Structure formats: structure tokens, C-alpha cells
Amino acid sequence: MAAPIDNQKSPIANVPRHVAIIMDGNGRWAQQRGLPRIKGHEQGAESVRAVLRAARQAGVKYLTLYAFSTENWIRPKDEVEGLMNLLAGFMDHYEGDLLKNKIRLRVMGQIERLPQKVQKKLTKLMEKSAKDYEYTLIVALSYGSRLEIADAARAIARKAAKGELDPETVNEETVAQHLYLPDVPDPELMIRTSGELRLSNFMLWQLSYAELYVTDVFWPDFREREFFQALEAFNRRGRRYGGIVTQ
């Protein structure tokens, strides 16, 4: 069992309600050690556990993890299968933990493209965990932000064509209400591991005003300590939303 986290020394004054993470660098972590890429993904699953725990301890209500993008389907079949098996295994192993810790599981993306076995497990756990929860874990799976926005545009157009919605009234709120998880607040903090300075088609709409935190640490090495460091960095940022510094 991991040691309890002592965050008393550096209490986080302003804890973001929603943190989104691009979990990157599993392959390079493995490569550096002369291991197959899948070993990096396996260690990455341990980081998911650690970060879930840290986020809950800090009081983060929503945690979104980018686990598989619409673009990731082009990876070798073996790697895609390995990732899907890891996902299924993760649900088997941590179902109890998720329920005990009142964590609701939600999925954002093309769930219908995932293997049947994975879909079934996800659907079951999403249902079970929605009954009594305090925290929400959102896993972005076969997710692409441009696709999400295009899907929203299509849904809005359909309503307009049916006369259910006046096109003249379409505003930012209308678009936000037609994204995959309209009830979830926008992330205040977006973390990307492994040093890449790009969004890779992740939550383009929702991250409009998020603070971005990029660390060189590869995802398999990103654990409780690194998560708290990100929260501390977030606390040092001055968020202005287009306004001016007031103090």
C-alpha cells in the first residue's frame, strides 16, 4: 500500500474543480528502459490510480483523462488491443475502489467504436457508479474534440431543421449544451505530461480559458507528488479572463 499523502505542508488554497490530463509519454518511458510500449501503458495505469487518489484527496470533483484519441486508432493493431485489454482489466480491478470511494465513471467519445467487451464493462460500471457519488472520473475514449464540435453542430442543425430551435438564437451556450457532457463544468487546469506543447485534439472548446501545465515527466512517472506540484503551480497563476490585474 502506498504511504498516505501529507499535503498539510502545502495546503492548496484554490483547488480546481475540474482537472483534465493528457496522459502522454508511455511509449517513450518504455523505450528508455528497453521495454515494449505496452509496459509503459501498464505503468501508466498505475499512475491513473495514484492520480485518482491524489485528486480525491485534494478535493478535485471532476478528473478527465485522455486515454485514447480518435487519431490513436491508426496505431499498430497489437498496441490498440493491448490498450483495450488494459482498460478492461482496469475496470475489473478497480470497480470496488471506484464504488467505495464514490467515484462516478463517465465516458466521453465514440464508445460504440470500442470492443464489445469493453463497452459492456464501461456501461455496467457507468450505471453502477452513478447511483451514489461525490467525484466524477471522465475517461476520454476514442475522443476527438473536432468531432465533438461537429457532432454538436449536426445536433443543433437537426433541431433547427425540425423547427425545434430558432437558428438566430444559437449562441455559445447552445453549442456548450450540445457537447458530449453538457453538465460538466469546464476544466480550470489542463496537465500534459512528457513535454509536448500541443492539445492533440483534446477539449478545444472546454479548455478555452484553462491554465495549461506541461511537465517533462512521462505519464508512468507522474504520481501523487507530481499532481500536487501541478496544483501548486495552478495556485501561482493569475487568472484574468481578458481583464486586468486588480492587485
Cell of 209: 480559458
Alpha-carbon distances, residue 28 vs 73, 192, 199 (angstroms)? 19, 15, 18
- Our CB check for ligand IPE shows the closer of 71 and 78 to be 71
Q: Which of 85, 101, 200, 229 binds ligand IPE (CB under 6 A)?
A: 200
Measured from the CB atom, the residue of 23 and 179 that comes closer to ligand IPE is: 23
Give, in order, the Cα–Cα distances in Å from 172 to each of 68, 146, 206, 219.
27, 16, 11, 34
> Per rule CB under 5 A, is residue 24 in the interface with Mg ion?
yes
Span interacting with ligand IPE, options 10-18, 62-70, 85-93, 149-157, rule CB under 6 A? 62-70
CB of 30 or CB of 125, closer to ligand IPE: 30
> Residue 62 binds which entry of ligand IPE, Mg ion, none, with Cβ cut-offs from 5 to 8 Å by kind?
none
Q: Is 26 a catalytic residue?
A: no
Q: With CB under 5 A as the contact rule, which of the stretches 23-31, 56-64, 71-79, 151-159 interacts with Mg ion?
A: 23-31
Q: Does 67 bind ligand IPE (CB under 6 A)?
A: yes
d(CA 162, CA 244): 44
Find the DSSP H helices in the chain.
26-32, 37-58, 77-100, 116-129, 145-161, 172-177, 224-236
Q: Which residues ranging from 141 to 160 are in contact with Mg ion (CB under 5 A)?
A: none
Q: Is 19 left (phi over 0), alpha (psi -120 to 50) or beta?
A: beta
24 classed as catalytic: yes
Least distance CB 119 / ligand IPE (angstroms): 18
Q: In the bound complex, which residue of the shown chain has the CB atom lying closest to Mg ion? A: 24
Buried/exposed 10-25: b ≥16 CB within 10 Å, e otherwise: eeeeebbebbbbbbbb
Task: Report the catalytic residues.
Answer: 24, 72
Which residues of the chain form contacts with Mg ion (CB under 5 A)?
A: 24
